[in-house]
């Protein structure tokens, strides 16, 4: 802490975190959940610090506020609900989307609103907001392990707050001028060397502590979107919505080469995408045209071996909520991009659905995981294992059984 007692400043991000966590525990300032190590730490006075947000003009003007689900931010979530503003909370580890909207029951009492602001309330009273939802966030509130008066921020080390913000930029949900607030104890306000910051790190505009409101006047630019060359395939697998954003940005011609992606393969994929875009309308496959324009059922079968056809192991995946303007060729392209190419596609455009055949249950479940959160034509697709699977040796899909 500048000019007072507190943890000494570390020379690495990890060092700063360990010093802050250790100091909060040893000084008796830490609150549950404990230990605070590895977390955005809760601290004595967090509710008082949260209440200060009501004095900010940025809070008064905001209609939609995104608040992280950390315990020390509970007071901000409560203040947002009490002010009848829209409260958005990131989904846990971004596994099933980006936001959940907290929807208190009609006529909710003060006590119910208090429950809605807790981690349990987030589970019970939230509804998902899809990628296709047009969201504009007016204020962002994040937790921190340490922060400087200049606005440099250090989180718990997993990068979710930085990624959430970058994804919001990609979605058009925030602008450069959208204010960012953090809530910390006074001892968490440290001198942090700017050299510790990376270009993907989120900075803050306001710091609220139990005793102070600090306007940082931070001049360092916030992340301008997702920095794809810092994203790994592992991260892509953990955050399904990230795959949809990558797919959308790739369609606009943006370089979305990943950290561990082979450059030659990436260039080949880019060339294939450009060739597909350049294809004249009258050269599209007739089956794709028919399925999109007339709603006729279209079945494409890659060369299935007799052994696979008769093995009885083929597992079908249901894809629903397909917009009427999406063609089978677009779905097939997305399947290739997401490394989920099936043995067979049964396209039923008029019913806004398709059925995908995979060689076994493992391949099908992998495809469901890969495609989770995929958005096409403005709709987030519904992807799951089909409820009924075909019998051993059956070649064609009985679509009525798979609804």
The rounded distance, in Å, linking the Cα atoms of 18 and 145 is 9
Kindly report the three-state secondary structure assignment for every residue of the chain.
CCCCCCCCCCCCHHHHHHHHHHHHHHCCCECCCCCCCCCCCCECCHHHHHHHHHHCHHHHHCCEEEECCCHHHHHHHHHHHHCCCEEEEECHHHCCCCEEEECCCCCCCHHHHHHHCCHHHHHHCEEEECCCCCCCCCEEEEECCEECCCCCEECCCCCHHHHHHHHHHHHCCCCCCCCEEEECCHHHECCCCHHHCCCCCCCCCEEECCCCEEECCCCCCCCCCCCHHHCCHHHHHHCHHHHHHHHHHHHCCCCCCCCCCCHHHHHHHHHHHHHHHHCCHHHCCHHHHHHHHCCCCEEEECCCCHHHHCCCCCEEEEEECCCCCCCHHHHHHHHHHCCCCCCEEEEEHHHCEEEEEECCHHHHHHHHHHHCCCEECCEECEEEECCCCCCCCCCCCCHHHHC
What is the arithmetic mean of pLDDT over 73-102? Answer: 87
* pLDDT > 70: percent of the chain: 78
What is the arithmetic mean of pLDDT over 34-57? Answer: 96
Checking if the pLDDT of 34 tops 80, the result is: yes
Residue 113 is predicted with a pLDDT of 96
Checking if the pLDDT of 31 tops 70, the result is: yes
> What pLDDT, in 10s, does the model give residues 145-202?
999 999 999 999 877 788 889 888 888 899 989 999 999 999 999 999 888 988 889 9
Most confident of 135-139, 300-304, 383-387: 135-139
Of the pLDDT bands very low, low, confident and very high (cuts 50, 70, 90), residue 401 is very low
Checking if the pLDDT of 73 tops 60, the result is: yes
User: Strand order of the sheet with strand 353-358?
Assistant: 298-301, 344-348, 353-358, 315-320, 382-385
Residue 53 is predicted with a pLDDT of 97
Checking if the pLDDT of 72 tops 70, the result is: yes
Most confident of 71-75, 196-200, 323-327, 369-373: 71-75
Checking if the pLDDT of 319 tops 60, the result is: yes
Backbone angles phi, psi at 296, to 5 degrees: -65, 150
Checking if the pLDDT of 112 tops 90, the result is: yes
Residue 281 is predicted with a pLDDT of 39
Checking if the pLDDT of 284 tops 80, the result is: no
Checking if the pLDDT of 256 tops 60, the result is: yes
The rounded distance, in Å, linking the Cα atoms of 302 and 154 is 50
Of the pLDDT bands very low, low, confident and very high (cuts 50, 70, 90), residue 41 is very high
Residue 7 is predicted with a pLDDT of 64
Residue 263 is predicted with a pLDDT of 54
Of the pLDDT bands very low, low, confident and very high (cuts 50, 70, 90), residue 291 is very low
Checking if the pLDDT of 223 tops 80, the result is: yes
Question: Of the ranges 12-21, 153-162, 347-356, which one carries the lowest mean pLDDT score?
Answer: 153-162
The rounded distance, in Å, linking the Cα atoms of 16 and 195 is 13
Q: What is the mean pLDDT of the chain?
A: 81
- Spell out the domain ranges in the chain: 13-215, 279-402
Checking if the pLDDT of 40 tops 70, the result is: yes
Output 44 or 368, whichever has higher pLDDT: 44
**What is the CATH architecture of 279-402?**
2-Layer Sandwich (3.30)
The CATH number corresponding to 13-215 among 3.90.1150.10, 2.40.37.10, 3.40.50.10420, 3.90.180.10 equals: 3.40.50.10420
- The predicted model scores a pTM of 0.67
Question: Of the ranges 12-21, 314-323, 384-393, which one carries the lowest mean pLDDT score?
Answer: 384-393
Output 339 or 119, whichever has higher pLDDT: 119
Residue 90 is predicted with a pLDDT of 86
Residue 151 is predicted with a pLDDT of 96
Output 123 or 398, whichever has higher pLDDT: 123
Of the pLDDT bands very low, low, confident and very high (cuts 50, 70, 90), residue 370 is confident
What is the arithmetic mean of pLDDT over 224-252? Answer: 83
Of the pLDDT bands very low, low, confident and very high (cuts 50, 70, 90), residue 98 is confident
Of the pLDDT bands very low, low, confident and very high (cuts 50, 70, 90), residue 274 is very low
Residue 381 is predicted with a pLDDT of 86
């Amino acid at each position: 802490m500048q000019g007072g007692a507190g943890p000494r400043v570390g020379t690495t991000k990890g060092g700063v975190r360990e010093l802050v966590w250790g100091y909060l525990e040893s000084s008796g300032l830490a609150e549950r959940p404990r230990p605070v190590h590895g977390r955005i730490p809760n601290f004595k006075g967090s509710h008082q610090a949260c209440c200060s947000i009501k004095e900010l003009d940025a809070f008064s003007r905001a209609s939609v506020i995104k608040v992280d689900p950390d315990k020390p931010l509970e007071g901000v979530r409560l203040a947002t609900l009490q002010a009848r503003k829209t409260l958005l909370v990131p989904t846990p580890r971004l596994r099933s989307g980006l936001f959940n909207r907290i929807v208190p029951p009609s006529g909710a009492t003060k006590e119910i609103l208090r429950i809605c602001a807790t981690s349990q309330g987030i589970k019970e009273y939230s509804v998902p907001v899809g990628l296709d939802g047009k969201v504009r966030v007016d204020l962002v509130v994040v937790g921190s392990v340490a922060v400087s008066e200049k606005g440099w921020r250090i989180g718990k080390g997993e990068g979710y707050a930085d990624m959430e913000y970058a994804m919001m930029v990609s979605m058009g949900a925030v602008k450069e001028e959208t204010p960012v607030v953090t809530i910390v104890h006074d001892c968490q306000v440290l001198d942090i060397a700017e050299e510790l910051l990376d270009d993907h790190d989120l900075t803050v505009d306001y710091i609220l502590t139990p005793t102070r409101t600090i306007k940082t006047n931070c001049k360092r630019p916030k992340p301008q979107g997702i920095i794809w060359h810092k994203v790994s395939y592992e991260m892509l697998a953990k955050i399904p919505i990230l795959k949809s954003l990558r797919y959308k940005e790739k369609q606009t011609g943006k370089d979305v080469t990943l950290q561990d992606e082979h450059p030659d393969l990436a260039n080949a994929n880019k060339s294939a995408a450009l060739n597909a875009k350049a294809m004249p309308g009258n050269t599209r496959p007739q089956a794709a045209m028919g399925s999109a324009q007339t709603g006729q059922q279209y079945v494409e079968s890659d060369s299935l071996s007799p052994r696979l056809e008769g093995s009885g192991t083929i597992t079908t995946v249901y894809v629903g909520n397909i917009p009427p303007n999406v063609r089978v060729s677009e779905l097939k392209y997305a399947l290739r991009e997401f490394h989920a190419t099936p043995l067979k596609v049964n396209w039923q455009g008029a019913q806004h659905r398709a059925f995908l055949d995979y060689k076994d249950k493992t391949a099908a479940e992998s495809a469901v995981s890969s495609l989770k959160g995929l958005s096409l034509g403005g709709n987030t697709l519904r992807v799951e294992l089909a409820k009924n699977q075909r019998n051993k040796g059956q070649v064609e899909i009985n679509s009525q059984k798979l609804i």
